[in-house]
Structure 1
Amino acid sequence: MKANLIIIWAYTSEAIASTLLYTLLKTATNKENLKSFIIDYKDIIIAIFGIMLAAALSFLWSLYSKSDSPFSIWLHSKGAYAVYLNSFIYSSGWFLAIIIITAISTKTELPPLIELTIWTAIYCTILSITFIKNIYSKLLLNMEFNKIGK
């Protein structure tokens, strides 16, 4: 139960941080500057999160395709397999969402969609850091497993 609360807090804290950064950004600049930024840099935003989506799907597939390996069985026994699986699925969904939202909002230029794009881009940037940290911690666990096995 405590582990689930930690995971819930981790996802919630990312959303809170995104909201705080978004509020700060809106306070520090005007809406037209934010709108121009999103429209001017839409291709870069889509490319960056397209790369992150490809990475998330690759790690998701890698985790799933090796689900019967001794390391994955060990992760299952520690209760960590589902945590990594869910984090890669969650990241993939958000990286896909920012790509779609950016494409739609920059075509329509509707203010609520532009604002949603800004918040989602901030959120996905924070999520990218968490995603990379999850990959790193999974690699460390794999190294630890290899030490135990020898």
Structure 2
Amino acid sequence: MAEFFVYSISSVGSVGAWSRYVFPFDVDDWAISGDDLYLRSGDDIHVLNEDLTGDEVSGAGVKPFEGEIQWPWLDFGQPGVTKNLFGFDIVGEGDVSVSFGYDQSNGGYFTDPYAVSADTVPGMVIPMPLSAPSLSVKLTYDGSERWQWNAFSLYLQDLRGMS
């Protein structure tokens, strides 16, 4: 198994982000030719093709590659103050499961995944009642179809006292 971290900078606003790629095989060498990435694993040569949604050379049919995007723990205002999450919206392509981390002291406490369509903006806000001092959002795509994440909105209220 091989793991790669890639830093990308968008052309709009020069925003940078890290991506993590995990391959189910060891990678001995790699090369880029044009827009294609070639990976060598022993005697096998793999080419990454953005038109495919999984590994089609695994011998057992197509094995989809799951995609996961997770935000760090965010305070959304004053640290340690409980915030009420009312709902969210997501914009993208492909079906996705959304879960929310609600206990920063234990990184494993997330809500059960909630499956939604990739673009929830037309229509009502997706309700998600949750209270916590900090939140982490996790998006999981099962890899059975092409997917893309564009935007995510949280609707919340800070519960600190008013003066």
Shorter-chain TM-score: what band?
under 0.3
- Greater C-alpha Rg: 2
Instruction: Give 1 or 2: higher helix fraction.
Output: 1
Instruction: Give 1 or 2: higher strand fraction.
Output: 2
Q: Give the TM-score taking structure 1 as reference length.
A: 0.22
